[in-house]
Structure 1
Amino acid sequence: MPNDRFDALRTIVQQMPKAELHIHIEGSLEPELIFALAQRNGVSLPYESVAQLRQAYDFADLQSFLDIYYAGASVLREERDFYDMTMAYLRRAHADNVRHAEIFFDPQTHTARGVPMAAVVGGIFRACQDGPISASLIMCFLRHLSEEEAIATLEEALPFRDKIIGVGLDSSERGHPPEKFMRVFRRCKELGFHLVAHAGEEGPPAYIETALDLLEVERIDHGVRCLEDPRLTERLARERIALTVCPLSNVKLRVFPDMAAHNLPALLAAGLRVTINSDDPAYFGGYLNDNFEAAFAALPLTLAHAEALARNSFGAAFLGAAAKRAHLEEVDAFFSKASHTPTADRTHV
Structure 2
Amino acid sequence: MTTQCTNTQHRLYQLIGQLPKTELHLHIEGTLEPELMFALAQRNQVTLPYASIDELRAAYDFHNLQSFLDLYYAGAAVLLTEQDFYDLTWAYLQKAHDDNIVHTEIFFDPQTHTLRGVPFAIVYQGIRRALDEAQAQWGLSSRLIFSFLRHLTEQEGFDVLEQAMPFLQGIDGFGLDSSEKGHPPAKFERLFKRCQELNLPCVAHAGEEGPAAYVMDALHLLNVKRIDHGVRSLENAELVRQLVAEQIPLTVCPLSNIRLKVFTTMQEHPLKQMLDMGLLVTINSDDPAYFGGYVNDNFKACTTALNLSDQDIVQLAKNSFIASWLSDAEKARQLAEIDQIWQAWKLAD
Q: How far is the alpha carbon of 1:322 from its aligned partner?
A: 2.5
Matched, 1:168 2:171: no
Q: How far is the alpha carbon of 1:10 from its aligned partner?
A: 1.3
Give the letter for the 1:212 counterpart.
L
CA RMSD of aligned residues (A): 0.9
* TM-score using structure 2 length: 0.97
Distance of 2:42 and 2:226 partners within structure 1: 39
Match of 1:82 in 2: 85
Question: What is the DSSP-based 3-state SS (H/G/I as helix, E as strand, rest coil) of the residue aligned with 1:194?
Answer: coil
Q: How far is the alpha carbon of 1:55 from its aligned partner?
A: 0.7
Give the letter for the 2:165 counterpart.
L
1:180-231 CA deviation, whole Å, 9 max, x = no partner? Answer: 1011111111101111000000000000000000000000000001111111
Match of 1:34 in 2: 37
Match of 1:294 in 2: 301
Matched, 1:10 2:13: yes
Q: How far is the alpha carbon of 1:320 from its aligned partner?
A: 1.8
Distance of 1:167 and 1:191 partners within structure 2: 10
Distance of 1:241 and 1:15 partners within structure 2: 27
1:112-144 CA deviation, whole Å, 9 max, x = no partner? Answer: 000010000100011000023212210100000
Percent identity of equivalent pairs: 57
Equivalent of 1:60, from 63, 66, 78? 63
1:149-178 CA deviation, whole Å, 9 max, x = no partner? Answer: 011111110110011100000001000000
Match of 2:54 in 1: 51
Contact in 1 for aligned 2:18/2:341 (Cα 8 Å):
no
Q: How far is the alpha carbon of 1:251 from its aligned partner?
A: 0.3
Contact in 1 for aligned 2:12/2:310 (Cα 8 Å):
yes
Equivalent of 2:127, from 124, 127, 144? 124
Matched, 1:111 2:114: yes
Equivalent of 1:207, from 210, 214, 223? 214
Matches within 5 A, 1:330-349: 330-342=337-349
Q: How far is the alpha carbon of 1:60 from its aligned partner?
A: 1.1
* TM-score using structure 1 length: 0.97
Distance of 2:226 and 2:343 partners within structure 1: 29
Distance of 1:313 and 1:204 partners within structure 2: 24
Unpaired runs of at least 5, structure 1: 343-349
Question: What is the DSSP-based 3-state SS (H/G/I as helix, E as strand, rest coil) of the residue aligned with 2:14?
Answer: helix
Distance of 1:244 and 1:340 partners within structure 2: 31
Q: How far is the alpha carbon of 1:329 from its aligned partner?
A: 2.0
Distance of 1:341 and 1:223 partners within structure 2: 37
Distance of 2:321 and 2:35 partners within structure 1: 32
Match of 1:150 in 2: 157
Matches within 5 A, 1:198-347: 198-342=205-349
Contact in 2 for aligned 1:125/1:136 (Cα 8 Å):
no
Question: What is the DSSP-based 3-state SS (H/G/I as helix, E as strand, rest coil) of the residue aligned with 2:111?
Answer: helix
Distance of 2:327 and 2:276 partners within structure 1: 28
Give the letter for the 1:103 counterpart.
I
Unpaired runs of at least 5, structure 2: none
Give the letter for the 1:231 counterpart.
E
1:214-269 CA deviation, whole Å, 9 max, x = no partner? Answer: 00000000000111111111110000000000000000011110101101111011
Q: How far is the alpha carbon of 1:14 from its aligned partner?
A: 2.1
1:309-344 CA deviation, whole Å, 9 max, x = no partner? Answer: 0111011101122222222222121112223232xx
1:267-294 CA deviation, whole Å, 9 max, x = no partner? Answer: 0111000000000000001101110000
Q: How far is the alpha carbon of 1:109 from its aligned partner?
A: 0.2
Give the letter for the 2:19 counterpart.
M
Q: How far is the alpha carbon of 1:6 from its aligned partner?
A: 1.1
Question: What is the DSSP-based 3-state SS (H/G/I as helix, E as strand, rest coil) of the residue aligned with 2:202?
Answer: strand
Give the letter for the 1:4 counterpart.
N
Q: Which moves more between the two structures, 135-144 or 330-339? A: 330-339
Give the letter for the 2:25 counterpart.
H
Contact in 1 for aligned 2:21/2:103 (Cα 8 Å):
yes
Question: What is the DSSP-based 3-state SS (H/G/I as helix, E as strand, rest coil) of the residue aligned with 1:241?
Answer: coil
Distance of 2:338 and 2:175 partners within structure 1: 28
Match of 1:23 in 2: 26
Distance of 1:70 and 1:238 partners within structure 2: 38
Distance of 2:174 and 2:342 partners within structure 1: 33
Distance of 2:334 and 2:324 partners within structure 1: 11
Distance of 2:17 and 2:265 partners within structure 1: 22
Give the letter for the 2:278 counterpart.
G
